[in-house]
Amino acid sequence: MKKCIYIRAVIFCLILFLITSYLLSTEERFFDKIDNKYPEVVIAVFYPSIGTIRNVEALITNNLLTLEKFKIVGVYYKNESYDYTQSKKLIKEKGIDWFIFHEIQGELNEANLFRRNPCTSEFEKIFQKADALIFFGGADIPPKIYGEKTNLLTQIRTPNRHFVELSCAFHFLGGFQNKNFKPFLDKNPDFPILAFCLGLQTLNVATGGSLYQDLWSEIYKVTYVEDVLELPEHCWHKNPYYLLYPLNKLSRSTMHRIKLLPDGKFCREMKMKSEDQPFVLSSHHQALEKLGKGMRVIATSLDGKIIEAVEHVKYPNVLGVQFHPENYTLWDYQIKVKFKPNQKDGISRKEILEDNPPSFEFHKKIWTWFTKKVIENYKKRIGKSE
């Protein structure tokens, strides 16, 4: 009798566990629950960390991402190392109902990234049901993926994250690695994709390009921080003082001007001028080397040695930048930082943008352009569904 009761209890617990697991899994798989008639704007963002949520929230609060009814879907791979329970906790605590999640499932490895694989159907759901896609910043891509040995200065911290983002970008855009693969965007060339820093590097590697693994040593031929300080500040791309004075609470990032090419998207569509040299926020030590399939340079560093932005020659609403126009600190006067050890008072990054025109206007135009393209694609999706 006791044995029967025990068996029943075990079965009950197992059933309860399976039901709970199912409910949790469906709760975190937004694209399974909607179709392409979903009535709100849907933007998929990879790497939904606390920082990503904070950045998106700031863009909405400051009327840079101006949407009415919308959902931001945080997409992540089940095998990533980041603890997304913290992101979900933040969403719940702040009562945010417009940010939700979708966990991608399926086996990914270095051998199957650039072809149809167990995650292809997941990427198809995003393409069919989302109105735009954003790739955010992060750690270094494993060089083996673009056919190089690993530099001693390369830091591989999040390989599984790179697997899913690289494979997704390849599925959307195609690449030199697999010329027979038909990219998703061939079906909808106007689908908007925006990428920042690592995101830009992801687009380039996914389409068959490569990276400089350390721009200071490979491009500027310096191997000591003190020698970096002898370079013009627009060559830094991250703050070298931070490395020398870790106890001074200096900014890791730096602010520097970039050069806009006259026939690129910034001038052609956003009506910037080629003589404009806006300040941007950057914090990176790697940079684009060989360009991926379809990638076209539209902005560089002032000396022309670093690619600062690319567009796609075939898909007009794909934009990748090596800087951070999404960073929440750009819109807040109260957040002040120091860049140098002898700097007495902090300064807000927003002040730097506003005091150096057309820097602030440049950032606003990026988000105005992106919002417009998102809404256009949303209307197209709804129109096709009706």
Q: What is the pLDDT averaged over residues 361-372?
A: 98
- At 5, is the pLDDT very low, low, confident or very high (cuts 50, 70, 90)? low
Q: Pull the structure tokens for residue 35.
A: 């179709």
pLDDT tens track for 284-311: 999 999 999 999 999 999 999 999 999 9
| Separation of alpha carbons 244 and 136, rounded Å | 27
Checking 114-122 for CB contacts under 8 A at 24+ apart, the result is 114/166, 114/167, 114/170, 114/175, 114/177, 114/178, 114/181, 114/206, 115/178, 115/181, 116/181, 117/167, 119/164, 119/167, 119/168, 120/171, 122/31
Res. 23: pLDDT tops 90: no
Residue pair 254/237 in contact by the 8 Å Cβ criterion = yes
| Separation of alpha carbons 243 and 229, rounded Å | 11
Res. 13: pLDDT tops 80: no
Q: Looking at residue 9, what is its pLDDT?
A: 53
pLDDT tens track for 77-104: 999 999 999 999 999 999 999 999 999 9
| Separation of alpha carbons 9 and 5, rounded Å | 6
**Superfamily grouping for domain 39-214+262-270+282-334+362-385:** Class I glutamine amidotransferase (GATase) domain (3.40.50.880)
Res. 19: pLDDT tops 90: no
Predicted TM-score of the model (pTM): 0.92
Q: Looking at residue 15, what is its pLDDT?
A: 47
Question: What are the CA-CA distances from residue 137 to residues 48, 49, 51, 88, 322 (Å)?
Answer: 11, 11, 10, 20, 9
From the list 363, 203, 376, the residue with the least C-alpha distance to 270 is 363
Q: What is the pLDDT averaged over residues 99-121?
A: 97
Give residue limits of the domains in the chain: 39-214+262-270+282-334+362-385
